[in-house]
Amino acid sequence: MTSSRHSAQAVGRRVCEALDPVLVPHGFQAGQVGVGTDVGVTFCSPGGEFSRRFPHLASWMDLDHPAACVDLAVYAHPEPARLVQVRLEGRELDDVAGRSGNHAAGRADGVGLPMEEGLERLAATVAALLLEGSPHE
């Protein structure tokens, strides 16, 4: 059990290592890791700041409440290490990327790929989505 939990924690750390450098400069907090059957990593941005920085992404979100935040949630299986789901404020990131025209061949969010390849694709997709149409970048 310990090695499985250790493996899950290592996957969470790896997700943070790959995505913190992309998300933190854009107003997100560093990833927060949770370990259960799967690994979950949540990156949160204050809603008002997200809305100002990324109006092209915030248009469908309800961010009127002063305490609103926008979550990018990344879920992974530790063995074999693969991303299993990525959601931006409740929507599949692959769908968000497709709607914005930011869609490469295959899944834009890296889901189903081996961990390193999946994280590389996910980081590139997130960076492209955040930079697209942002007046602050």
Chain-centre distance for alpha carbon 3: 26
pLDDT tens string, the chain, 137 residues long: the values are 345 666 899 999 999 999 999 999 999 999 999 998 899 999 999 988 888 888 888 877 877 777 789 999 999 999 889 999 999 999 999 888 877 655 555 578 899 999 999 999 999 999 999 987 544 44
- Classified as helix, coil or strand, 30 is coil
pLDDT score recorded for residue 44:
96
Name beta bridge partners: 91: 88
Whose CA is closest to 12, among 30, 34, 29? 34
Whose CA is closest to 59, among 27, 96, 24? 96
